[in-house]
Structure 1
Amino acid sequence: MTLVESIPLYVQYDANVTVGIPLEQAWKDLLSMATEQVEVSSFYWTLTGEDVNVNSSSDTPGKGILEQLEALPSRNVSVRLVTSVPSIRTNSTDLEILKRKGVQVKEVNFGRLTKGVLHSKFWIVDRKHLFVGSANMDWRSLTQVKELGVVIYNCTSLAEDLHKIFESYWAMGQPNSSLPDPWPSEYDTAINIHHPLVVKAQNVSSRIYLSGSPRAFCPSSRTQDLEAILSIISGAQQFIHVAVMEYFPTTRFEKPRRYWPVIDNAIRRAAFDRNVKIRMLMSCGRDSDPAMLPFLQSLTSMDSPRQNISIQIKMYVVPVGNQSGIPHSRVNHNKYMVTDKEAYIGTSNWSEDYFSTTAGVGLVVSHEPLWSTDSLHGQLRAVFRRDWQSQYAVHLADLPQYPDCNLSRGLG
């Protein structure tokens, strides 16, 4: 079980800091290992620069992944892909190319089923290896966007459990599908917040479970993503470190927009009632919505050392530099949380729609002994500390000095 990262080109850290295995390497290794079956869930597919009318050598790793996927059927490896019915037209030819090579593809119309999208990003290889994280099947995820995920090798129990989620998407990708209520028993899980999977490796005992969203896609035995997040926040005693691209205590896509302070209240309670130290690292790029700023300022206004209330927020700004011709890039796309007790790696931003209508998954891990530096929890703590202390993490008041951050408009 190891952390996987994509660090954008020209983002540099000091020597000797913790860095996850490069995402490109992890994906290549998983595809090389495959002997029977590869299953991938991704919001969308753009593995070549031509897909977004960009000519950049930084799409080379994406093209390499596409070629590896194309070659799998000729090695007698079955490939099944689920993706969201596109909400916007793209020029991507990835899925057509893959279909011609014998890959099976299902586009799930979440808009019809739940009024959301399929936003989950995960891989299952041979029903024993898996990847869960923030990265879509996009060349920019490998070179232009900061991504974070986890790869778990040789864990059939967890891979089979994730496969049940994949199968629920696959079933709903059929024409004229309708959501079952309740879900048939084959989608049930024995692994959840109440009964985590216990795994022992390298003298560390880990408790792990997968969470899912939205509620309509979860059998009653599956822990919902929101429940997992709230449980982790309420269980923290010393600190909560959060890194998500977008944070809105509202709906984002449903109109009219609605106030939704569920996670926000949990964070405030942890800081006020239990004096848990909160650090939150959001992303700010050229496309970020300045409407996020007042909510972040509201949280930081509670920060009061005198009353032992600590809520600190920074924005992670990936410098654009000479990469300005590449759309929807140069952002910190991470979606994780680490506390003094647990680690969480997800696929969702933190606003209501991601939990009520949109498909996502989360992986929750705790360890004994807890403070091992080599454990996933230890790696995640170190990565958060590295980013928080880096030159790319900017206090809200200093944002006007960073033209690559669109939130600075909200400070006018």
Structure 2
Amino acid sequence: MPHLSHVPGVLSTGDVLRWMAANATRRLDVIAQYWQLLASPDDPRSGDYGYTQDQMNKFGAHQGAAVYQALDDAADRNVNIRLLSHSGVYPTFTLEPSKLASGRPNVKNVTLLLKDWWGSGIVHAKVWISDNRDVYIGSANNDWKSLTQVKEVGIYLAGCPGIAKKVEIYFNNLWTIASFNSSAYTKTVMDQQWQVERKVPCWSHFIQPRDRCK
């Protein structure tokens, strides 16, 4: 929506994400469904292919690049960054978070495939947590088009360590699951209500309490 004027007092998602990365001093945690902050007008496989640089600027692609650069700069400042994503989308998949983590011990990047745990599903949440106090929760993907071409909504909580702590519990749970071997921690059980077999984690409520793992 590049030609719609901003509502006074309502922040731009791109500005918020860039601000959070630029001002992080210790830790930055990010959950994303996929990453396409960097436009690819020269890649024939990409939906950006064939557009000129002037056209990409008019579309707002530079806003995604600015967010990526802010993350890159935070990594260079030795901020501890954890990036958790779904498998990504064609053609770049997990290229961008992998590049951010490459050669940097302070940047960790994991992919969490929920289908390995529940038989289906994706990581669809979009969450940023900066320095255990600032939080973004919204609908915008880490995608330049989400920041400029699509109607998205989010909430930015600044200086809220109590809320950040609760959101971190959610993040840490997903991060822990991503470190497990799903085949060792899943079971197939019968869902009595719907009479179907379900693949579930071994701590699921579908499993009898005495048979659950810790």
1:133 paired to 2:138: yes
The aligned residue for residue 24 of structure 1 is: 14
Q: Give the number of aligned pairs.
A: 173
The aligned residue for residue 110 of structure 1 is: 114
Identical-residue share of aligned pairs (%): 25
The aligned residue for residue 156 of structure 1 is: 161
The code of the aligned residue for 1:116 comes to G
1:11 CA drift (Å):
2.8
Structure 2 vs 1, CA of residues 104 and 18 (structure 1 numbering), >3 Å: closer, same or farther? same
Aligned counterparts of 2:142 and 2:14: Cα–Cα separation in 1: 11
The aligned residue for residue 204 of structure 1 is: none
1:38 CA drift (Å):
0.2
Alignment of 1:61-100 (within 5 A): 61-86=63-88, 88-92=89-93, 93-100=95-102
Alignment of 1:8-407 (within 5 A): 8-12=1-5, 20-50=10-40, 52-54=46-48, 55=51, 56-57=56-57, 58-86=60-88, 88-92=89-93, 93-100=95-102, 102=104, 103-114=107-118, 115-177=120-182, 178=185, 179-181=201-203
1:101 CA drift (Å):
5.1
The code of the aligned residue for 1:46 comes to Q
1:73 CA drift (Å):
2.3
Q: Which moved more, 1:19-28 or 1:150-159?
A: 19-28
The aligned residue for residue 247 of structure 1 is: none
Structure 2 vs 1, CA of residues 169 and 146 (structure 1 numbering), >3 Å: closer, same or farther? same
Tell me the TM-score normalized by structure 2: 0.73
- Note the residue ranges of structure 1 that are not aligned, 5 or more in a row: 1-7, 183-214, 217-412
Aligned counterparts of 1:73 and 1:32: Cα–Cα separation in 2: 10
Higher relative contact order (CA 8 A, sep 6+): 2
Structure 2 vs 1, CA of residues 91 and 158 (structure 1 numbering), >3 Å: closer, same or farther? same
1:181 CA drift (Å):
1.6
Tell me the TM-score normalized by structure 1: 0.39
Does structure 2 conserve the Cα–Cα contact (< 8 Å) formed by 1:70 and 1:101? no
Structure 2 vs 1, CA of residues 164 and 107 (structure 1 numbering), >3 Å: closer, same or farther? same
Q: Output the aligned Cα RMSD.
A: 2.2
Does structure 1 conserve the Cα–Cα contact (< 8 Å) formed by 2:28 and 2:82? yes
- Note the residue ranges of structure 2 that are not aligned, 5 or more in a row: 186-200, 207-214
The aligned residue for residue 212 of structure 2 is: none
Does structure 2 conserve the Cα–Cα contact (< 8 Å) formed by 1:81 and 1:105? yes
Aligned counterparts of 1:148 and 1:89: Cα–Cα separation in 2: 24
The code of the aligned residue for 1:117 comes to I
Instruction: Provide Cα deviations, 1:208-257, integer angstroms capped at 9, x if missing partner.
Output: xxxxxxx89xxxxxxxxxxxxxxxxxxxxxxxxxxxxxxxxxxxxxxxxx
Does structure 1 conserve the Cα–Cα contact (< 8 Å) formed by 2:64 and 2:147? yes
Does structure 2 conserve the Cα–Cα contact (< 8 Å) formed by 1:46 and 1:137? yes
1:91 CA drift (Å):
2.2
Does structure 2 conserve the Cα–Cα contact (< 8 Å) formed by 1:44 and 1:83? yes
Aligned counterparts of 1:129 and 1:70: Cα–Cα separation in 2: 19
